[in-house]
Amino acid sequence: MCGIAGVIRWSRENRDLARQLETMSSAISHRGPDDEGYLLAAPCLESRGENRKAHVIESRKLNGVCLGLAHRRLSILDLSAHGHQPMNRRKGGPWIAYNGETYNFRELRHELATQGATFTTNTDTEVLLAAYEKWGVDFISRCHGMFALALFDPERGELLLYRDRAGIKPLYFHEDDKGVSFCSELKGLLAANTFARHADPAAIRAYLEFQVVHHRPETFVRNVRELPPGHMMRIDLRNRKTTIRPWYDLVQGVERRRRELPERLSDQVAFVREQFIDTVRGHLISDVRVGSCLSGGLDSSSIVCVATMLKRQQAGESDSLGDRITTFSSCHEDVRYDEQQYIDLVTKSCNARAIKIFSRPEELAGRLDELIWHQDEPFTSASIFAQFLLMEAARKEGVTVLLDGQGGDEIFAGYRKFFFFYMRDLLRGRKLGTLARELFGAFVRGDGDLFDLRAMRRYLPGPLRRSFRSIGRFLHQEALGEAGLQGFQGASSIVERQILDVKHYSLPALLHYEDRNSMAFGIEARVPFLDHRMIETGIALPIEAKIRGGVAKYALREAMRGIVPDKILDRRTKMGFVTPEREWMLGALRPLMEDMLAKPQAVTAELVNMEAIARQYRLFVEGRRSALLPREFFRLLCLDRWVALFNITDI
């Protein structure tokens, strides 16, 4: 995994181009601690000598446009210097700066070799270059993996940017009349200091009131956008034009997979089992050590148990696990937030080397600014600090690649809300017998906390939603405007709800946290459930394979029978990376909160009624009923610290 950055200037001026690239690269150096490289392309060689690490090419075919690429390398495949980037294969040919992993690169390499291609490295990067030269701009549709990449073709006079189907790897860009700049992280663009740092009020309202982030291409900073998942940007350097188009369509992928699925439920379960095992096998390919996150839940336990099974069978690339798999788990001394009984069950059955990390509020208070800086934007919960510490522990243990279970709930309808959407659909369709059976099953076998409706608040219509406690009434609505939550509260089916979550309202935020927390310590996080074939299969399954007898993720549970301990498959509780936020906001985080209330940043005060918030916080501290929840106080604190750290000057 790596970091990439680039600058395109529509003018011939390039004297400080190398310095700008170095500044952006330095801001994301944590993403690639093993190597750095630069490419400068200009109509004249004024940039020569500014950066001795740069490869400088003179290109008179770019119509006066100047271009620079930067790359930070985290070595995973072919650890030699042959993997240096930006990379090209022949003089005058295309160049690539690549962040990601292509899990089927060996199959692609074999196919290309049979058609005459030769290779000098063992990297997937070189395979991508050869694939582009053979198949053109649509080569990317043949690639299975996670990636964000820039491909500069001097012969065609264009730069192509691609982002993977699920948006696992990030790519930000800024465009104005002077040119285009892009980077793996927002802080890299801001480090170049070429545009005003104004906050986007719509993003802030969605964050504060609805607990929604990363649901659209626009970011918390105006005029900075993310390239959407499954999209490409073509930058025509000769004509100074940019276009963005999708190269992958999730809806079409789900429809194709639905036609391929077997009809019988037992065969669908077998299909899921075979596909998941094959996906985990591909995600074990590595020339460095691979470990796994383990929460004790179904998804992470499935990954650890399947990887162990492959290791025991000596199949695929399971040697990357070493003599046994190493797992990393977030634990708590407070038993209400602790899952060690399930973690221990899995690690014992797999003979895993178990590393347990305990997150403490005092440490969060001392490292909150560090966490916000790495995240680039405000985040919705202190729970991601547990993941941050887990990634740090992996780096200390010398494990460079971690498998993680992100996406399982989205693609197999594991969240509690999906049960209620299903009940709604059954009621609308007057399928009362099925409705009764599912409700009975939910009471007997389902999630023990299923009927806690507080988690459903943000999906309710406005009047009902406002009957719950909410920060919305304390926002200056005239300054914030609309939140831009198209389709958030409405979906015609479970499938549509799942697609909305994958594309907008759940997965993008989780992947953002995963990427920043892992990259903060030079860790490559891999998410097997988000191989596009797994996404398509999970969503395409009929609802009876997702929720059955009141039990969510039925097909996955049954697919893992005999691999994952039954106690994990049949457990009635569900807990992610959680932290005791109420106690933390009353304890270690209280001084930070009180300092913020006493002297908020100007942007924060412009958007929020801080005097009213202060009154509500006093009620909270005194143990009286407050109109705000602990998590809402935390979100406001996080926003204010972000404004200060990133020097956000206005809205």
Domains of the chain: 2-171+227-248 (3.60.20.10), 251-412+506-569 (3.40.50.620)
| Sign of the CA dihedral with 378 first, then 383, 385, and 389 last | negative
Q: What pLDDT is attached to residue 245?
A: 98
Between CA 504 and CA 488 the distance in angstroms is: 9
Name the more confident of 486 and 447. Answer: 486
Backbone angles phi, psi at 160, to 5 degrees: -115, 130
User: In Å, what is the CA distance from 411 to each residue of 90, 583, 586?
Assistant: 42, 33, 36
pLDDT at 452 over 90: no
Alpha carbon 616 to its chain centroid, in Å, reads 33
**Residue 172: strand pairing partners:** 183, 226
Confidence grade of residue 523 (pLDDT, cut at 50, 70, 90): very high
Rounded CA separation 147/165 (Å):
9
CA–CA gap between residue 381 and residue 403 (Å, rounded): 22
Q: 39, 67, 417: which is closest to 237 by C-alpha?
A: 67
Backbone angles phi, psi at 608, to 5 degrees: -130, 145
Between these two residues, 451 and 42, which has the higher pLDDT value?
Answer: 42
**Does residue 628 register a pLDDT over 60?**
yes
pLDDT value, residue 459: 56
Q: What is the mean pLDDT of residues 431-452?
A: 72
DSSP label at residue 505: I
Ramachandran angles phi, psi of 63, nearest 5°: 60, 40
Does the pLDDT of residue 399 top 90, yes or no? yes
> Distance (Å, rounded) from C-alpha 171 to C-alpha 226?
6
The yes-or-no verdict on residue 134 having pLDDT over 70 is yes
CA–CA distance, 109 with 116 (Å, rounded to integer): 11
Residue 211 has pLDDT above 50, yes or no: yes
Mean pLDDT, residues 167-184 taken together: 96
CA distance 610 to 604: 8
Q: Is the pLDDT of residue 252 over 70?
A: yes
On whether the CB atoms of residues 127 and 307 are closer than 8 A, the answer is no
The region of weakest confidence among 116-120, 187-191, 463-467, 508-512 is 463-467
CA atoms within 13 Å, Cβ hemisphere of 351: 8
Flag whether pLDDT at 503 surpasses 90.
yes
Token pair belonging to 464: 């009902």
What pLDDT was estimated at residue 574?
Answer: 65
- Answer with the residue of higher pLDDT: 413 or 419: 413
- Find out whether 329 and 296 touch, Cβ atoms under 8 Å: yes
Q: 317: pLDDT confidence band, cut at 50, 70 and 90?
A: very low
Residue 459 near residue 417 (C-beta atoms within 8 A): yes
Q: Please give the structure tokens belonging to residue 133.
A: 């030269």
Q: With cut-offs at 50, 70 and 90, classify the pLDDT of residue 460.
A: low
Q: What is the mean pLDDT of the chain?
A: 90
Which of these ranges, 49-58, 181-190, 592-601, 620-629, has the smallest mean pLDDT? Answer: 49-58
Query: In this model, does residue 542 exceed pLDDT 90?
Result: yes
Q: What is the pLDDT of residue 13?
A: 73
| pTM exceeds 0.85, yes or no | yes
Distances (CA, A) of 237 to 234, 242, 600: 9, 9, 44
Q: State yes or no: cis peptide before 201, omega within 30 of 0.
A: no
What is the rounded CA–CA span in Å between residue 648 and residue 651? 8
User: For residue 216, what is the enclosing H or E element?
Assistant: none
What pLDDT does 335 receive? 75
